[in-house]
Amino acid sequence: MWHEHRLAADARGSGVPAGAASDVVEETFVLGGRTVRMLRPRDADAVLDDVLTEEDPADDRLPFWAELWPSGVALARALSGQPLAGRRLLELGCGLGLVSVTAALAGAGVLAADQSPEATAFAAANAAHNGVGLQTAVCAFAQPGPLLAGAPWDLVVAADVLYEPGNVPELLWLLPRLVDDAGAVWLADPGRPMLERFLAGVDATGWRCETILGEPDTVTIYRLRRRTVRQD
């Protein structure tokens, strides 16, 4: 359940970035019987305006991280019912950290990764806001050194990461290097145009793709595992 009320939150000392990003509100979710309280910028457009004042900002500076997207909510809900205690979990494109925080609350050891340092700062702040710890890494899919250093992961998760064509080949190269035969990848997608191309690439690389229950009519969650893994 997602509580629609939004509470003003004081960002001083919370570890969130300065500027418009420091003006935050709190949104509350109930996931798997646990309450998850997430800080996010009050006005994502104001955060974008801050970025646009920079001299020639790169595309990767665009603050996609500054919102709680439906795919992240769906993925967090799906994970909240899983036995994650003691498992090592990597989130790709963590954004504000809802999925990572939910997994940490369930007992997983989490690395939350994003190409945006503002995103990982919020993920760490939201973990602290919920009384749990996690690790963070600032890196792009094409520069995954910290992610590969921790492989193989028990579970790799990602929400709405197929928004750019270039992400497809990068993820098709990266994902098989992050998990072994015992691991799995969960990917939530709202029907981005690049999804069909990604799933075709997954099939060509010899992975089993299964659909997991997600947000009805809006988000589908896919579980990817190597075809050599026997299913019970």
Tens of pLDDT, residue by residue over 11-56, are 444 688 888 899 999 999 999 999 999 999 999 989 988 887 876 6
Please, are residues 74 and 215 in contact by the beta-carbon 8 Å criterion? Answer: yes
pLDDT at 1: 44
Lowest-confidence segment of 15-24, 112-121, 158-167 by average pLDDT: 15-24
Whose tokens are 């702040």? That residue is 125
Stretch 95-122: mean pLDDT: 97
pTM assigned to the model = 0.91
* pLDDT, mean over the chain: 90
* Per-residue pLDDT band at 226 (split at 50, 70, 90): confident
Whether the per-residue pLDDT at 231 is higher than 60: the answer is: no
* Per-residue pLDDT band at 135 (split at 50, 70, 90): very high
According to CATH, what is the number of the domain 59-226? 3.40.50.150
pLDDT at 62: 84
For 56-74, the pLDDT digits (tens) are: 666 667 898 999 999 999 9
Stretch 194-203: mean pLDDT: 96
- What is the SS3 string spanning the chain? CEEEEEEEECCCCCCCCCHHHHCEEEEEEEECCEEEEEEEECCHHHHHHHHHCCCCCCHHHCCHHHCCCHHHHHHHHHHHCCCCCCCEEEEECCCCCHHHHHHHHCCCEEEEEECCHHHHHHHHHHHHHCCCCCEEEECCCCCCHHHHHCCCCCEEEEECCCCCCCHHHHHHHHHHHCCCCCCEEEEEECCCCCHHHHHHHHHHCCEEEEEECCCCCCCEEEEEEECCCCCC
